[in-house]
Structure 1
Amino acid sequence: MNERDAHRRAIIIDTPPTSNGDLHVGHLAGPFMAADVYARYLRSNGRPVVFSSGTDDSQTYVLASARRKGLTPEELSGRSWHEIRATLAGMGVSLDGFAPYDDRYRASVLKFLTTLHQAGKFREKTVRLPYSERRGEYLVEGLVCGYCPICLVESRGGLCETCGHQNNFDELIEPRSTVDPDDVVTHREARILVLPMEEYRERLTAYYREREPRLRPHTMQLVREVLARPLPDFPITYPIGWGIPAPFPETPGQRINAWAEGMPAVMYTTAYAAERLGERHADDDELWRAEHDPEIVYFIGFDNVYFWGFTHIAALMAHDGRYALPHTFLSNEFYELENAKFSTSLGHVLYTKDLLEEVPRDLVRFYLAISCPEHQQTNFSRDALAKVTGDRLVRPWNRLAGLLGKAVADAGAEGTVLPVSEEGRRRAEAVAERFRACYELSGYSLTRAANLIVGQLDRLVRQARLVHETAADPAGLGDLFLDVRVLMACASPILIDLARAASEAGGFSLRLDDDGLRPEHIAPFALPLLGASDDAAHAR
């Protein structure tokens, strides 16, 4: 980390989840775990951070889910907001603020979009949209499904989760209603407002040329494919009955497209979180302004890359330099449950809150980190959870705790201070450097960080056994305790409860920017034990 970045504010965005139900394990394994670990790592280095999220209540997925459940969309979104916030807190996701969907939110969205409208950035366009003859309404986004015109796989309206490409207006093949599959779906014309994406082609191309080294391969594949075709116009309004009413005279009675809310929504969540940290600004977009030079980082699923990486970036560019552009965004692939896609409608789902009732939080976080879908689809398995956490974390850690306790007792070192060698300090710095390589954006990887925890634990168990067998040489014992202390600091973004308990027992800081890596002496401390998950993980 260079000197400039050491004091630069980081704005970390976990894109707001749709409020059509609680978060399942697949949601946490992707953006939320990755964003939380990055935020915790930056804070441990003294970086100023604002980490925020909220809910995406305007999505038509809320309307579709509410109809299937026999609820009003207001009832479903309101209940889901509380469930999602509780689940994130239960998992230890260290949001500085989880913003409500309220009048202030709506005002922020309208201010952002009205400014663009007044500057003449939108265009009127006549389009053909899927139409429900039975309900007498247009079907867009989560209300309609069909086959993607790009990859020919089943897709919802607006965007294909499989290939990541947008499908606009009447492009879905064989469209049908997601609420009533027997409904007759036709097409009707409507006059809407759009953002003409082709006008931002050169700027988007330059943006990605600069950021290509920071982006994951699948993301860059999509970027190249999108830029190789004409950029489709982005709908700003839709003639539907759910969402924020559009105030534009050209489109009376229409609503704001939920995806057009994205940028002002996260500006609002940033402002809300900053207030929780004691800051207050006159405008919700203040911290995003270019003069403040924030490092903005998104954590998103691959299926959201098109909107957040193209239409939302173009919306920022349309404000003509007022805002900073995102430094990068880290995408993830899909996470399966027992080798099948998560499906709430089919009952194939594991909610995070239910798993946390069975398994200690640190074990869940460790398993999600080591199995997270960074570059390809991965899988959650209860049997694997029990085996991986038991074999690679719980038993090695508890074995280390026992060996250290015996070594201290045999050496009569309780209440003493142990020397630390120069070699021990160099070793500690080397370990910290390897963890930094996993946590810095240039090589960010939860999987590598979790595997590094495993590798260091194996080494420390062997070292502890050797120290114990050699009558607990004080210098070797001091180096060993420093190794444990450094491992806890480096693992603390993932193993949040264990690291906190160890630091309290040892009276040491978990900061990575202090002098904790180079002490000349260290006091021994008792290591807390980890609970097993074997029995609980098999519970149904």
Structure 2
Amino acid sequence: MRDTLIIAPPPTPNGDLHVGHLCGPYFGADVFRRYLTLRGHTCITALSVDVNQSYVVTTAERLGKDPGALAVKSHQEVSETLDMADIDFDIVGFPDRAYTAYISDWFAALYERNIFQRQTRPYPYDVVRKRFMFESYASGTCPVCLSGTNGNICEACGHPNDARDLLGLYPTGGAPGDPIEMRPVEQYVLSLEDWREPLRDYLDTAIPERRPSLQRLIDELFARRLPDFPITFPSQWGIPAPFPNADGLVLNVWAEILPGHYHWLEQAASSKNMTFPTDADYVQYLGFDNSFFYLIAHVALAMAAKKCGVRSVLPAAIVTNEFYQLDNFKFSTSQGHLIWGRDLLAEISADEARFYFAWSNPDYSQANFTMEDMERVLNRKLRAPLKTIRAGLQAVTVPAQVQDTVWSTALYSRFESVYDIGRQNLRAAAQTVANGLSILIRQMDAGAAPSELCASARAIAVGLAPLSPGLAAELWQLSGGVGRITWPQSEQLSQVA
């Protein structure tokens, strides 16, 4: 049985996690980890925070804080909020000297093998704030979808951009019309076009299961020349580029993230007294807005590293999610349009929050969160059914032997389908739990035998465990389950007529 490595994008440590963050790749990755653990697989999971991201700087400027202190505080808050949500990673790392050395050595090894190209190109320069404009330092309108965006990636359509190409470009923190100068800069890039055919072959064979928005983005990207991917940016915030004659250049944080994942997975494996399993299945969770980086830029970088004999792992599966909105508008920290994760989790249990995160999940399409809908769903689909079932199970004598039935077997089959990595569907998982609870109540009303009731209850508990582990454990115990929740062996289910 192969080990599984599970990774999610590092949150930017410029604040705590709001509900939109929680419901995305962090929750999805945790659900998958719990499912695999139920099935007897060994998982290594890792997360870190994105300290070298330019958004740390611009947020600190807006708040009047020191960016380093903001990052430290945010890392602590992120870790606490994940813990409150029962979202568990083996490590939630904060970049340190060992991390920086690992990243520098990784890129230096690729540089020595002539993987990168050096270019001289004009860069927009913010005269007022005295910095070059890229990522969060640049603001304007996306030339593809015409949404407001920052530099290098558009969150709305997923297309990469060059800050020079933004319509109505202006410096972040300033206003349209602020002075901008074009200044020549030496930069290192990876030519993605050179990797077009290997990328296309890999995506077609290794990642055949793609969600609709992701498929559209891939088709649009490959319809034209793939862009050069910046390995460095002219800045003072970040890891200095470990190349000769690279003064004033730092590593692009989106390039840094790839070997950063490897570093934190190594640390996570070490914490479990394991070595990094090179033959493991590598599963990447991410928000759709980061798709270009993970599916194109990172895969090309990993292929280049593999060619050079440098540590690299290609994903066996990539799972994206769409945006989770609040009252039909995007969560926005800067505009105060949000619900902090810790505030929600102070009002309701993690189990209930997780069930609703699954029920309303933006896994295949954009979804909307409202407090009213959450209360309505929880009352009708979880709280009331569980209250009835608790009373019903407490009134029966649990038999010494509980045999699976056609009902419990059907539930196991459906749960296996909706949790499988190739077609994971968290909405369908929550709906299956709700269907199972309704079935069990009907069985109780019809006077079904205790063995049949307990078989259904245990199947529901197993399927609920990746979503709401506390409620699942309670249901497992009420139905006579002993010890930890376990998924039945396939031979047990095959014996059911």
TM-score by length of 1: 0.87
In 2, the alpha carbon distance for the partners of 1:9 and 1:465 equals 44
Quote the offset at 1:517 in angstroms: 5.8
Match of 2:455 among 482, 485, 499: 482
Which residue does the alignment assign to 1:528? none
Which residue identity does 2:485 align to in structure 1? L
Quote the offset at 1:58 in angstroms: 0.7
SS at match of 1:494: coil
Instruction: Indicate the larger mover: 345-354 or 314-323.
Output: 314-323
Quote the offset at 1:38 in angstroms: 0.5
Q: Give aligned pairs, total.
A: 489
Which residue does the alignment assign to 1:236? 231
Match of 2:61 among 42, 67, 82: 67
Query: 1:146-157 residue pairs with structure 2 within 5 A?
Result: 146-157=140-151
1:136 aligns with 2:130: yes
Contact residue 428 and residue 517 of structure 1 kept, 8 A: no
1:365 aligns with 2:354: yes
Deviations 1:304-329 (Å, cap 9, x if unpaired)?
00001111111111113443311121
In 1, the alpha carbon distance for the partners of 2:79 and 2:217 equals 32
- CA RMSD, Structure 1 to Structure 2 (Å): 1.9
Task: Structure 2: state its 5+ residue gaps.
Answer: none
Which residue does the alignment assign to 1:14? 8
In 2, the alpha carbon distance for the partners of 1:217 and 1:519 equals 35
Query: 1:145-184 residue pairs with structure 2 within 5 A?
Result: 145-181=139-175, 183-184=178-179
SS at match of 1:293: coil
In 2, the alpha carbon distance for the partners of 1:245 and 1:33 equals 33
Which residue does the alignment assign to 1:427? 407
Quote the offset at 1:417 in angstroms: 2.8
Which residue does the alignment assign to 1:524? none
- Answer with 1 or 2: which has the greater Rg: 1
In 1, the alpha carbon distance for the partners of 2:248 and 2:467 equals 48
Which residue does the alignment assign to 1:261? 256
Contact residue 486 and residue 517 of structure 1 kept, 8 A: no
Match of 2:299 among 313, 333, 345: 313
Which residue identity does 1:237 align to in structure 2? T
Instruction: Indicate the larger mover: 323-332 or 56-65.
Output: 323-332
Quote the offset at 1:85 in angstroms: 0.8
1:500 aligns with 2:476: no
SS at match of 2:437: helix
In 2, the alpha carbon distance for the partners of 1:516 and 1:342 equals 47
Contact residue 127 and residue 169 of structure 1 kept, 8 A: no
Which residue does the alignment assign to 1:217? 212
Match of 2:189 among 194, 204, 222: 194
Which residue does the alignment assign to 1:120? 114
SS at match of 1:167: coil
Contact residue 7 and residue 29 of structure 2 kept, 8 A: yes
Quote the offset at 1:180 in angstroms: 2.5
Quote the offset at 1:502 in angstroms: 3.4
Deviations 1:495-533 (Å, cap 9, x if unpaired)?
11112233455342312155896699xxxxxxxxxxxxx
SS at match of 2:330: coil
Contact residue 138 and residue 163 of structure 2 kept, 8 A: no
In 2, the alpha carbon distance for the partners of 1:108 and 1:271 equals 11
Match of 2:100 among 106, 111, 133: 106
In 1, the alpha carbon distance for the partners of 2:198 and 2:369 equals 40
In 1, the alpha carbon distance for the partners of 2:380 and 2:340 equals 25
Deviations 1:215-263 (Å, cap 9, x if unpaired)?
2121111111111111111111111111111121132121111111011
Which residue identity does 1:449 align to in structure 2? A
In 2, the alpha carbon distance for the partners of 1:417 and 1:355 equals 40
In 2, the alpha carbon distance for the partners of 1:392 and 1:305 equals 33
In 1, the alpha carbon distance for the partners of 2:244 and 2:488 equals 55
Which residue identity does 2:390 align to in structure 1? A
Contact residue 44 and residue 513 of structure 1 kept, 8 A: no
Contact residue 425 and residue 519 of structure 1 kept, 8 A: no
Quote the offset at 1:16 in angstroms: 0.9
Deviations 1:72-131 (Å, cap 9, x if unpaired)?
110111111111111111101121111221111111111111111010111111222221
Which residue identity does 2:72 align to in structure 1? G
Which residue identity does 1:315 align to in structure 2? L
Match of 1:250 among 245, 248, 252: 245
Task: Structure 1: state its 5+ residue gaps.
Answer: 1-6, 468-472, 521-540
Contact residue 99 and residue 273 of structure 1 kept, 8 A: no
Instruction: Indicate the larger mover: 306-315 or 142-151.
Output: 142-151
Instruction: Indicate the larger mover: 72-81 or 127-136.
Output: 127-136
In 1, the alpha carbon distance for the partners of 2:17 and 2:56 equals 14
Quote the offset at 1:33 in angstroms: 1.1
In 2, the alpha carbon distance for the partners of 1:517 and 1:397 equals 27
SS at match of 2:75: helix
Q: Percent identity?
A: 34
